Amino acid sequence: MLSDARQKFIKEKAFLNGEIIISDVAHELDVSTETIRRDINILAGMGVLEKVHGGAVPVRVNSHENKYSERKATNEPIKRKLGAFVGKQLKNCNTIFLSAGTTVESITAFLNSGENIAVITNSLPIAETIGNASFDNKRTSVLLIGGKFNAEEHYTYGSEVVSTIRKYHADVVVISAVGVDEQGAMCASSDEGIIMSEMINSSAKVILLADSSKFGKKAVFRHCPMDKIDYIVTDNSNPVPEKILKAIKKKNITIDIVK
């Protein structure tokens, strides 16, 4: 296993379990304890982990982001427009992961398809909307993944959520972002980011749904590098920075800018 892959494994294991033990990780990855110590030193230097005796613990930092209720009311007409556009793209999908986020929530009103659709999500508002809606075809079902509950952000997270996601494979995942730069998408917390990363790994196609204000912004946790994204949907209220457009083109990512 290459160093980047090891460090990603170590980081995610630390955030899921609350700590890592060097000897345990070395045994699990079949490498020396010195190799794991070097990886931890690198991650500590990046501010991701804090070294403790025999292992490391995660450094949990949240980016500043408005409260859920404030974000829900922000750019509501744009979110509905984006939700309607992406909803049409999902018409022929059978299984869909929907990440938490107020922009992704906008899709739920437009999942009215003649096909059987199974939606898997860790978002309580998405599950409630789909569960309570009276779709004409009555064929859209929803699985709300259980785990620790973030009452402020209305989503579940933690190792239980990750283990459930790994049992499924979706045709597509729709993810959100707090910030998007030329290297990919970022979110406000590691708890949320790890869940989206697992959804990405368990999906055949990745759609990034982000309003145009997110492009050029930064956040604390990069949950989706640019080369994992297949399709980007945004609006035309703000221009996408040229260096990000160049990165999108270089990776052959399809982008739709909805007017």
DSSP state string for 109-131: GG---SS-EEEEESBHHHHHHHH
* Domain extents in the chain: 3-58, 68-258
- In the CATH scheme, what is the code of domain 68-258? 3.40.50.1360
> Per CATH, the architecture of 3-58 is what?
Orthogonal Bundle (1.10)
Global confidence as pTM: 0.76
Query: Which tens digit of pLDDT belongs to each residue from 125-184?
Result: 999 888 776 555 567 789 999 999 998 889 999 989 999 999 999 999 999 999 999 999
User: Distance (Å, rounded) from C-alpha 2 to C-alpha 8?
Assistant: 10
Q: For residue 56, which of 46, 70, 67 has the smallest C-alpha distance?
A: 46
Query: Which tens digit of pLDDT belongs to each residue from 90-101?
Result: 878 899 999 998
Query: Which tens digit of pLDDT belongs to each residue from 12-65?
Result: 888 777 789 999 999 999 999 999 999 999 988 877 788 888 999 877 554 555
